[in-house]
Amino acid sequence: MLLRVRKGWELPDSAATDETVFHQRRQLIKSMGLGSVLLAGGGSALPALAAAGGDPSAALYPVKRNEKYKLDRDLTEEKYATTYNNFYEFGSHKKIWAAAQELVVRPWTVKIDGAVEKELTVDIDTLLKQMPLEERLYRHRCVEAWSMSVPWSGFPFKALVDFAKPLGSAKFIQMETLADKKTMPGLKQFWYPWPYLEGLSIEEATNDLAFLATGLYGKPMPKQNGAPMRLAVPWKYGFKSIKSIVRFTFTEKRPVSFWEKIQGKEYGFWANVNPKVDHPRWSQATEQVLGKPGRVPTLLYNGYGEHVAHLYKDMAKSEGDRLFR
């Protein structure tokens, strides 16, 4: 990543997302008596709400927390997680949250294709109704050596894999972000290989930890964080956690991701967090926690080794340090 050393976590409070907007919207939904209609997935009210700028999934949140995933540190304050972002489609700096409000999140469809029993396109709200939504507290470690700890809402990636019914030949899943020139000014930077692509092996995607996040802090996913659905793979550097996904392609061939195409020596396919394997241009030994002073040590697999280390055991010899960048 083209790192800019900016102390974005020192943003003034005035730059934070205005919570009242969320509360007013929830109030509106309640006063219209639409909560239960939305929960039941009643279709007729949805376009009207979407046109009014509402999010038809709002009534689904908050969802029940899965207590299996514990944090060893404080939750990051919402104002930091929602105003210090990487989303290159809206600009190659951290303050894209305002620009990202242009992202149109309804209607939103997700295509599932490649090595699956039947290729299909599904509407996000239809998908959300079928997936087992829960909340998980996860750490997130960016390759740029900053981190946060946040409550994602969403569902296990494995539920989507089951829904997609992959063929036995599928070994990897490639994911793709929306690329809309009308709303995403970053796409004018033609030297980037848009659309943003990422990939996981099937074993990684079906690991318990791999999560498709559709909400944050008990509300629908903010646009700047990757609405309406983004990946959360907390044992890997943050660039693997692709935002605003429109397509999942099951494939035999290992995908080449966005950052790997740009600079494969610095940003590889596996990108597992390891404090002992430095980025070619900076140390990965410690990290700056958003909103906190000083730095804390970075942990192997970002502290999630018990869940995922076994996935890479047989690869350690052949892949070496490439497992960690």
Q: Which residues bind ligand MTE (CB under 6 A)?
A: 1, 85-89, 142, 177, 196, 225-226, 238-239, 241-244
- Closest approach of ligand MTE to the CB of residue 85, in Å: 3
Q: Given the complex with ligand MTE, which of 196 and 269 has the nearer CB atom?
A: 196
| Residue whose token pair is 């305002």 | 98
Exposed/middle/buried for residue 301 (C-beta within 10 Å: 0-12, 13-18, 19+): buried
Question: HSE of 236 in the Cβ direction (CA atoms, 13 Å)?
Answer: 29
Cα–Cα distance measured from residue 325 to residue 307, given in angstroms and rounded to the nearest whole number:
19
- Closest approach of ligand MTE to the CB of residue 197, in Å: 9
- Closest approach of ligand MTE to the CB of residue 246, in Å: 10
- Closest approach of ligand MTE to the CB of residue 265, in Å: 17
Cα–Cα distance measured from residue 123 to residue 108, given in angstroms and rounded to the nearest whole number:
6
Q: Given the complex with ligand MTE, which of 1 and 128 has the nearer CB atom?
A: 1
- Closest approach of ligand MTE to the CB of residue 28, in Å: 26
Cα–Cα distance measured from residue 145 to residue 35, given in angstroms and rounded to the nearest whole number:
41
Per DSSP, the three-state class of 72 is coil
Q: Given the complex with ligand MTE, which of 85 and 207 has the nearer CB atom?
A: 85
Q: Which residue is nearest to ligand MTE (CB)?
A: 238
- Closest approach of ligand MTE to the CB of residue 52, in Å: 26
Q: Given the complex with ligand MTE, which of 177 and 249 has the nearer CB atom?
A: 177
Strand partners, 184: none
Q: Do the beta carbons of residue 6 and residue 94 sit within 8 Å?
A: yes
Q: Given the complex with ligand MTE, which of 88 and 301 has the nearer CB atom?
A: 88
- Closest approach of ligand MTE to the CB of residue 216, in Å: 8
What percent of the chain is helix, strand and coil (3-state, nearest 5)? 30, 20, 45
Q: Given the complex with ligand MTE, which of 88 and 108 has the nearer CB atom?
A: 88
Cα–Cα distance measured from residue 287 to residue 294, given in angstroms and rounded to the nearest whole number:
9
Q: Given the complex with ligand MTE, which of 238 and 268 has the nearer CB atom?
A: 238
Q: Given the complex with ligand MTE, which of 172 and 258 has the nearer CB atom?
A: 258
Residue ranges of the alpha helices (H) in the chain?
A: 19-31, 35-39, 45-51, 78-81, 124-130, 157-164, 202-205, 258-263, 305-308, 316-319
Distances (CA, A) of 27 to 19, 220, 317: 13, 15, 56
- Closest approach of ligand MTE to the CB of residue 201, in Å: 18
